Structure 1
Amino acid sequence: MKFAGIVDAKRWTRIICVALLSTAPLALTACQSDPDIDITKLTPETESPEVLYNQGLANLNAGKVTEASRKFAAIDRQHPFSEYARKALVMNAFVSYRQGATEEAITAGTRYLNLYPESEDAAYAQYIVGLAYAKQIPSVTQDQRAAAKTIEAMQNVVNKYPDSEYVEDAQTKIRFARDQLAGKEMQVGRYYLERKEYLAAITRFRTVVEQYPSTNQIEEALARLVEAYYAMGISTEAQTAAAVLGHNYPDSQWYADSYKLLQSKGLEPRENAGSWISRAGKQLIGA
């Protein structure tokens, strides 16, 4: 027998989930049966900032990222001067990052840092900004401004919040971004080298050696300097570049190739202490 006043089982599940949000966080798993429905939709968005914030977290935990963002945005609109507005702003930065909306994440994170630079979540906001820039880094064949921005943002994490849990990953992202910048310099340098524009090529390889000595591009940069100086007939600089390469990376294939190139003209690696390459070589890992 059917009764008009009885709702179906699915609706009862949703109603029960809403009732349990404030008392039993573990009940969220029962609320994930319908991915298209906001698990807190039966509660008006004119609720208190605390309720809206908890609803945002509940939606986020349930994988409903868009709904979570809507709840956090509602706090910013309706309760802009509350403590939960501060918390919602940094959560919106995180949600935007999760959604792949990197510019929105950067905007929200930067706004948070401008408003609450000394708060407990400032390190996290700065970290989110860095992550968003890192996600924008393209291949080395393209413009690397995002890599430079990543280094700047993540260096702020390291410098301003040295005791935060985000420092280790920030340093990893910095290394990756520096590798990208060095890789871009190498790409341009190889372009000039292939066209026998040796001075332009040397400028690019020198940038890698002097500015990015700890990157994964350094061995090739030194080998390319050997090649470029050798082609120009400046044997002392070619020999110095090979000597620095051999001292720091004796088992490198780049060193083996450079040594072979010098030997073809009866030369061998020999360091000139007055060369810029010798001075820069002292900053390398194996120096």
Structure 2
Amino acid sequence: MLVVRNSWARPALVAALCALAVAGCAGKGKKKPQLAYEERPVELLYATGADYMDRRLWNQAVDYFGEVERQHPYSEWARRSILMQAFAHYESNNYAEAIADADRFIQLYPGNPAAAYAHYLKAVCYFEQIVDVGRDQAATGQALDNLKDVVQRYPNTEYATDARLKIDMVNDQLAGKEMTIGRYYLRQGDTLAAINRFKGVVDRYQTTSHTPEALYRLVEAYLTLGLVEEAKKNGAVLGYNYPGDPWYADAYKLLTSSGLKPAVEPTARGKRGLFHMPFRHDKEQTIKPPSEAKPVEAKTEAAPPPAAAPAETPKTDAPAEKPKKRRSIFHPFG
């Protein structure tokens, strides 16, 4: 325990403690400012949020769509606003919030047709978090599970079509991860562990771009272990399916140099790449929130309260809150 014996030192100690307290408070992150509550017509709030969306001002859009929910919780506009918040959070790379919004919509309106989009956007949020094969692939597995869920639930929709394309990309990513680990084991001399990884690629990800190299690595590994028949078998599979691939040309040379010349001549032209292309994200391909034919509440929603007198439109000088004459692409009822 600190004991201050000199009375002249006490004021200095108090001042020092106050300074530390102020510094500690200053180090804390400031809370996000919230819109001051002011009752406004739902059309005005939503139109302002849609205007911000068109201008790609995602944080401001989230604020106004949140106000739609807070001030008009039982309207179809509020239901729509949840999806708009999810999309705005997605566009601003705030994937955790976007997933939470999508889950909230699914929980509140599981039977609504727009639930398909909520499932889709949730899957895309995981997809956007996929990183290069040298890092942890937890998000990749979550993306694959959610994309498959979209295809299973809504097989004949545009969401399923896009999900299938993304599933192919995710599988290629997972195969790339297995190849990275397999090459590492091969360099370390752990040939059996490497073989298990390469066989996993051939068995589970045979339609990906990594299959030719995986077959070549199996030829290489089996020759190292002296398992000639296994090497010949994998070389034959590689030559039959990918006779024009540079990896088969390498396997052909390797087998021929070992006195195991394959029957199929390679037809490869050019050189194989030394590095795997990095995973690419393209948000421009993401489907926008759907429009609705007419403002009809979903059957699963709670009945709205008795209609109240419409609130008087507040007078404001803020130009952002004036509804636009043109129809925004984010308007709910296109």
Fold-level similarity (TM above 0.5)? yes
Query: Shift of residue 53 of structure 1?
Result: 2.1
Unaligned runs of 5+ in 2: 1-34, 264-334
Q: Is the 8 A contact 1:49 1:75 kept in 2?
A: yes
Q: 2:139 aligns with which of 141, 146, 164?
A: 146
Q: Is the 8 A contact 2:256 2:262 kept in 1?
A: no
Q: Where does 1:66-77 land on structure 2 (aligned, <5 Å)? A: 66-77=59-70
Q: 2:178 aligns with which of 182, 185, 191?
A: 185
Q: Displaced runs of 4+ in structure 1, greater than 6 A?
A: none
What letter is aligned with 2:260?
A: L
Identity of aligned residues (%): 45
Partner of 1:89: 82
For normalisation by structure 2, the TM-score amounts to 0.65
2:52 is paired with a residue of what secondary structure? helix
Query: Shift of residue 107 of structure 1?
Result: 1.3
What letter is aligned with 2:191?
A: Y
State how far apart, in whole Å, the 1-side matches of 2:52 and 2:37 are.
15
Higher relative helix content: 1
Query: Shift of residue 161 of structure 1?
Result: 1.4
State how far apart, in whole Å, the 1-side matches of 2:141 and 2:194 are.
22
Q: Where does 1:1-287 land on structure 2 (aligned, <5 Å)? A: 45-269=38-262
Q: Is the 8 A contact 1:134 1:150 kept in 2?
A: yes
Query: Shift of residue 148 of structure 1?
Result: 1.4
Structure with higher RCO (Cα < 8 A, 6+ apart)? 2
Question: Which protein shows a greater Rg?
Answer: 2
Q: Is the 8 A contact 1:202 1:225 kept in 2?
A: yes
Partner of 1:31: none
Query: Shift of residue 137 of structure 1?
Result: 0.5
1:227 is paired with a residue of what secondary structure? helix
Partner of 1:14: none
Partner of 2:307: none
State how far apart, in whole Å, the 1-side matches of 2:90 and 2:83 are.
11
State how far apart, in whole Å, the 1-side matches of 2:63 and 2:124 are.
22
Query: Shift of residue 211 of structure 1?
Result: 0.7
Query: Shift of residue 114 of structure 1?
Result: 2.2
Q: Is the 8 A contact 1:45 1:71 kept in 2?
A: no
State how far apart, in whole Å, the 2-side matches of 1:45 and 1:150 are.
40
CA-based RMSD = 1.8
For normalisation by structure 1, the TM-score amounts to 0.75
Query: Shift of residue 123 of structure 1?
Result: 1.7
State how far apart, in whole Å, the 2-side matches of 1:269 and 1:46 are.
79
Query: Shift of residue 44 of structure 1?
Result: 6.5
Query: Which stretch has the larger CA shift, 244-253 or 43-52?
Result: 43-52
Equivalenced residues, count: 229
1:132 is paired with a residue of what secondary structure? helix
Query: Shift of residue 178 of structure 1?
Result: 0.8
State how far apart, in whole Å, the 2-side matches of 1:45 and 1:211 are.
57
State how far apart, in whole Å, the 2-side matches of 1:212 and 1:45 are.
56
Query: Which stretch has the larger CA shift, 159-168 or 228-237?
Result: 159-168
Q: Is the 8 A contact 1:240 1:269 kept in 2?
A: no
1:166 is paired with a residue of what secondary structure? helix
State how far apart, in whole Å, the 1-side matches of 2:73 and 2:229 are.
67
Partner of 2:276: none
